[in-house]
Copies of this chain bind each other. A is one copy, B any other.
């Protein structure tokens, strides 16, 4: 009887790798940051960190696990003094989540301290790391994010902003950063704006100057009672201090390529991204999907929780009843027993259960947001059939996922992506459904208010569906083995 990590239970999703948050001139900055990170918990559950500044010194706490569990210790919170803070949630992509890999990273430069949290992924990190090591730089983590820190440290420019720009010009990849120095809070997004970052405003700690907030999503502003100001723009650096918000745009203007998967699955439904409600977008995708791929059936059933809005849109457009035919169990702990062979045929139903009274004897349309490896889909279909469904039709609110992401999303290597090697008919057979349909790429763009995907100038990064990678993959297609340390550290 082996153990399986609950993250793997019935879970065949891509995962956002990180969420970032920062505040300037806010009372109880650490508590506010903890609340903000709590709202961003869906962007990373493995580890979390906060660095604060009290006007004189930095204070830090890093820990494994959930936000709530880390910042519920009164002693920890009492140590995180100051009205300025940045925080980070991490979804670990490598086996062990070493504490020294937990962000924000902190470094002491000749001119003072510097803390930074990074959402995204650099595509030339290995190349840069090799060059920096040759120069005598010593890396303390195995994260790509540390490259930023060394590039800033060795820059020949004088000011932090100039050094940061110097560093950004050398890196390739996707990044939304929050950083804290002795004198300012900084936010920036990569030139294509692949990952989100927004600016908010709240009551200042002193009651006079405004307080400022940076966050990956607007839901974090709602959590802390801050008001939305605007998205940080692609390629923009915002520097916040007591004089207000300054903006730097060191890059040539390009057409932005925001990650379309944020709408499909990553972002929280109550967030608004680039002016569009994520929840509404998902319902519209469901509506579009119903138009493209209708079928004769009795009920529309979402795969909870992420498939719910699309299923609602689908049901509404198709005129079929929307029913909660699958129940999700939210009490799954961090690990669980793996059924032995004898009981493996039960299927893994630890997170999902079929609602037999609803399913039995019905023709069911299952709506889910994506199929990655296909492992969960086939289990769910099997479970729904075992509960007596007469027919099972699956509708997916994203195009087939055919390519890996190298811009900050945890994707299996391409060989494991079901859609990379199977057409829709083959997939339907493997998953065991009576019919299967994905929304088309143009349908997806239409649901998001475009007229379709414009070849050459698409509005989004959709590399995982199209293979059209807008940022070079210098580290030879992101071969992970290249970034491993020589050291196998045991704790």
Binding site for B on A (CB under 8 A): 1-3, 6, 27-28, 31-32, 34-35, 38-39, 41-42, 45, 51, 57-63, 65-69, 71-72, 74, 76-80, 99-100, 106-110, 112-113, 130, 133-140, 149-150, 153-155, 219, 222-225, 268-270, 272, 277, 279-280, 305, 308-309, 312, 322, 324, 327, 329-337, 339-340, 342-343, 345-346, 349-350, 353-358, 387, 485-491
A66 and B333 form a contact (CB under 8 A): yes
Q: For residue A76, which residue of chain B has the nearest CB?
A: B490
Chain B hits for A332, CB < 8 A: 38, 66, 68
Instruction: Give bound CA distance, A356 to B342, whole Å.
Output: 49
Q: For residue A89, which residue of chain B has the nearest CB?
A: B331
Instruction: Give bound CA distance, A1 to B32, whole Å.
Output: 12
18 cross-chain CB contacts under 8 A: A1-B77, A28-B340, A31-B343, A34-B337, A38-B329, A38-B350, A58-B488, A68-B332, A69-B333, A72-B333, A106-B487, A106-B489, A109-B133, A138-B153, A222-B353, A270-B356, A272-B357, A279-B358
Q: For residue A360, which residue of chain B has the nearest CB?
A: B277
In the complex, what's the smallest C-beta–C-beta distance from A272 to chain B, in angstroms? 6
Contacts A333-B65, A336-B68 hold; do A485 and B154 have CB atoms under 8 A apart? no
B133 and A28 form a contact (CB under 8 A): no
A133 and B110 form a contact (CB under 8 A): yes
Q: For residue A60, which residue of chain B has the nearest CB?
A: B489
In the complex, what's the smallest C-beta–C-beta distance from A53 to chain B, in angstroms? 9
B333 and A270 form a contact (CB under 8 A): no
Chain B hits for A354, CB < 8 A: 222, 270
Query: Which of B41, B327, B486 sits near A269, CB closer than 8 Å?
Result: B327
Instruction: Give bound CA distance, A277 to B387, whole Å.
Output: 14
Instruction: Give bound CA distance, A349 to B62, whole Å.
Output: 24
Query: Which of B62, B308, B353 sits near A491, CB closer than 8 Å?
Result: B62
Chain B hits for A330, CB < 8 A: 305, 330
Chain B hits for A324, CB < 8 A: 269, 279, 308-309, 312
With A108-B487, A277-B357, A277-B358 given, name 7 new contacts (CB 8 A). A38-B329, A38-B332, A60-B489, A66-B333, A69-B334, A270-B353, A279-B324
Contacts A28-B340, A72-B336, A333-B68 hold; do A490 and B60 have CB atoms under 8 A apart? yes
A27 and B112 form a contact (CB under 8 A): no
In the complex, what's the smallest C-beta–C-beta distance from A357 to chain B, in angstroms? 3
Instruction: Give bound CA distance, A332 to B486, whole Å.
Output: 33
- Which one of A41, A222, A280 has the highest number of Cβ atoms from chain B below 10 Å of its Cβ? A222
Q: For residue A34, which residue of chain B has the nearest CB?
A: B337
